[in-house]
Amino acid sequence: MTIKWFPGHMGKALEQIQELIKRIDVVIEVLDARLPYSSANHKLFEMKRTKPWIKVLNKHDLADPAVTKAWIKEMELQEGVRALPLSAQKHSDTKPLIKLCQTLAPRRGKPGLPVRTMIVGIPNVGKSTLINTLAGKRMAKTGDKPAITTTTQLIDLHNGVVLNDTPGVLWPDMSDQDGAYRLAASGAIGANAMDSTEVGFYAGEYLLKRYPEMLLKRYGLETLPPTPHDLLLAVGRRLGCLAGGGEVNMNRTAEAFLREMRSGKIGRISLEEPNDHLPVEFSAEIE
**Which residues are near ligand GTP by CB under 6 A?**
58-59, 61-62, 87-89, 121, 123-129, 142-144, 146-149, 167-168
d(CA 246, CA 165) in angstroms, rounded, equals 47
Distances (CA, A) of 192 to 3, 12, 37, 189: 10, 21, 24, 8
End-to-end CA distance of the chain: 32
For position 149 contacting Mg ion by CB under 5 A, the verdict is yes
Q: How far is the CB of 93 from ligand GTP (least distance, A)?
A: 8
Q: Which stretch binds Mg ion (CB under 5 A): 22-30, 87-95, 148-156, 266-274?
A: 148-156
Q: Which stretch binds Mg ion (CB under 5 A): 13-21, 111-119, 142-150, 240-248?
A: 142-150
d(CA 63, CA 113) in angstroms, rounded, equals 37
Q: How far is the CB of 279 from ligand GTP (least distance, A)?
A: 31
- Interface of this chain with Mg ion, residues 104 to 133, rule: CB under 5 A: 127-128
- Of the pair 36, 121, the CB lying nearest ligand GTP is at 121
**Residue 114 partner contact from Mg ion, ligand GTP, none using kind-dependent CB cut-offs of 5 to 8 Å:** none
* Phi, psi dihedrals of residue 242, rounded to the nearest 5°: -110, 150
d(CA 70, CA 254) in angstroms, rounded, equals 30
For position 39 contacting Mg ion by CB under 5 A, the verdict is no
- Of the pair 147, 235, the CB lying nearest ligand GTP is at 147
- Of the pair 119, 256, the CB lying nearest Mg ion is at 119
d(CA 115, CA 162) in angstroms, rounded, equals 6
Nearest residue to ligand GTP, using CB?
Answer: 168
- Of the pair 50, 192, the CB lying nearest ligand GTP is at 192
Q: How far is the CB of 46 from ligand GTP (least distance, A)?
A: 20
Instruction: Give Cβ neighbours of residue 8 (< 8 Å, ≥ 6 apart).
Output: none
Contact (Cβ atoms closer than 8 angstroms) between residue 263 and residue 254: no
- Of the pair 88, 250, the CB lying nearest Mg ion is at 88
Instruction: Give Cβ neighbours of residue 31 (< 8 Å, ≥ 6 apart).
Output: 39, 40, 55, 56, 57, 58, 121, 122, 125
Q: Which residues bind Mg ion (CB under 5 A)?
A: 127-128, 148-149
